[in-house]
Amino acid sequence: MTEPTTWETFTLERPEPGIAVVTLNRPERMNSMTNTMFVELEKVALQLDHEHDLRVVILTGAGKAFCGGFDLDDAEGLSSLTPMGMLDQQELAARALAAIRSIRVPVIAAVNGAAAGGGLSLSLAADIRIGSPAARFNAAFVRIGLSAGDLGASWHLPRLIGPARAAEFAYTGRFIEAVEAESLGLLNAVVPAESLLDEALAMARLICANSPAGVQLSKRALHANMEVSSYAAALELENRGQALLTRGEDMPEALAAFKEKRNPKFTGR
Ligand SMILES: CCCCCCCCCCCCC/C=C/C(=O)SCCNC(=O)CCNC(=O)[C@H](O)C(C)(C)COP(=O)(O)OP(=O)(O)OC[C@H]1O[C@@H](n2cnc3c(N)ncnc32)[C@H](O)[C@@H]1OP(=O)(O)O
């Protein structure tokens, strides 16, 4: 494990080769999001996205919450902004979450507690969510006069839990606790709190054992095909990815390893 690097709003740790752990670090404010956090999250996402040897990012929260959404104390200060100023703030926040979502490698959210409002949106920007029993989700937006059309929540939720459940969740502002979240597919798994990070690391290791290029092009295909409208377009995109991968080093190495009954040594080239 290398020494953690501490940013103002989170820590970045590298427990083992290929794995980065980003921990939101404002536990006294339920890891709520400030403009500084948005700026720093965008920066670290762009930094990680350019690390050739990175294979998986794990995102979690310090203390008892994953992320309590926008810092409501900060919100006070925003009311003096012009409408365009407010739009700038919203776009700054949205860019941060888009940067997290578009990191080339898989992002696993280890949801250690409440994910409310923008915190829900942040958890949805990850590809995979593993929760502790304390994981709970809340589209808090409507409870404070905002819309659930926020930081990607209105795009992810219908695709993840279905339009009707997304509507109920968004309109009622109720909490979805861990067990229900797992049954809806909002969580991939619920694991004991004390082993949450270990479980995320175990899943990360499984991913690290596979072809980096294969995993990254799988992520691109899965993300892109949630956007394309047709099966034909999806096949076309998949075909291009496979054609690229068959020209790389990993596939022949995987075939040779299979024949020689040994583990492949992937390079990602
Ligand atoms: C409001 C935004 C307005 C601006 C709009 C335009 C700005 C554009 C830029 C930003 C765009 C971002 C868009 C995102 C929007 C949102 O996220 S809206 C939703 C905001 N979040 C919430 O409404 C959630 C509020 N918190 C809770 O519901 C609960 O605290 C919890 C997170 C579910 C945890 O509950 P519990 O475990 O019971 O802890 P509590 O006792 O409630 O809280 C402990 C302390 O933490 C403080 N805290 C919690 N959440 C926040 C928060 N979001 N901001 C600031 N502080 C928070 C809470 O006040 C407690 O503090 P103390 O009383 O001092 O102990």
141 lines ligand 1 (CB under 6 A): yes
CB 102 within 8 A of CB 44: no
Residue nearest to atom 19 of ligand 1 (CA): 117
Sequence-distant (6+) residues with CB within 8 A of 92 are: 35, 38, 39
Q: What band does 160 get if pLDDT is binned at 50, 70 and 90?
A: very high
Sequence-distant (6+) residues with CB within 8 A of 186 are: 129, 137, 160, 161, 176
Is the pLDDT score of 1 beyond 70?
no
Ligand 1 pocket test: which of 70, 76, 79, 138 has the largest number of ligand atoms within 8 Å of its C-beta? Answer: 70
Q: What band does 2 get if pLDDT is binned at 50, 70 and 90?
A: low
CA of 216 to the centre of ligand 1 (A): 34
- Domains for the chain: give ranges and CATH numbers: 1-206 (3.90.226.10), 209-258 (1.10.12)
Over the stretch 191-245, which tens digit does the pLDDT of each residue have? 999 999 999 999 999 999 999 999 999 999 999 989 877 888 888 888 888 888 8
- Mean residue pLDDT across the chain: 92
Please provide residue 152's backbone torsions phi and psi, each rounded to the nearest 5 degrees. Answer: 90, -5
Q: What percent of the chain has pLDDT over 90?
A: 70
pLDDT recorded at residue 243: 85
Q: Which ligand 1 atom is at minimum distance from the Cα of 143?
A: 23
61 lines ligand 1 (CB under 6 A): no
| E-only strand ranges, 29-139 | 56-61, 65-67, 107-111, 114-116, 128-131, 136-138
Q: Rounded to two decimals, what is the model's pTM?
A: 0.93
Residue nearest to atom 46 of ligand 1 (CA): 29
**Rounded to an integer, what distance in angstroms lies between the CA atom of residue 147 and that of residue 154?**
9
Q: What band does 161 get if pLDDT is binned at 50, 70 and 90?
A: very high
Over the stretch 92-122, which tens digit does the pLDDT of each residue have? 999 999 999 999 999 999 999 999 999 999 9
146 lines ligand 1 (CB under 6 A): yes
pLDDT recorded at residue 269: 84
Mean pLDDT highest for which of 76-85, 124-133, 238-247? 124-133
The predicted complex's ipTM stands at 0.94
CB 102 within 8 A of CB 49: yes
Q: State whether residue 10 is helix, strand or coil.
A: strand
In angstroms, the first-to-last Cα distance of the chain is: 25
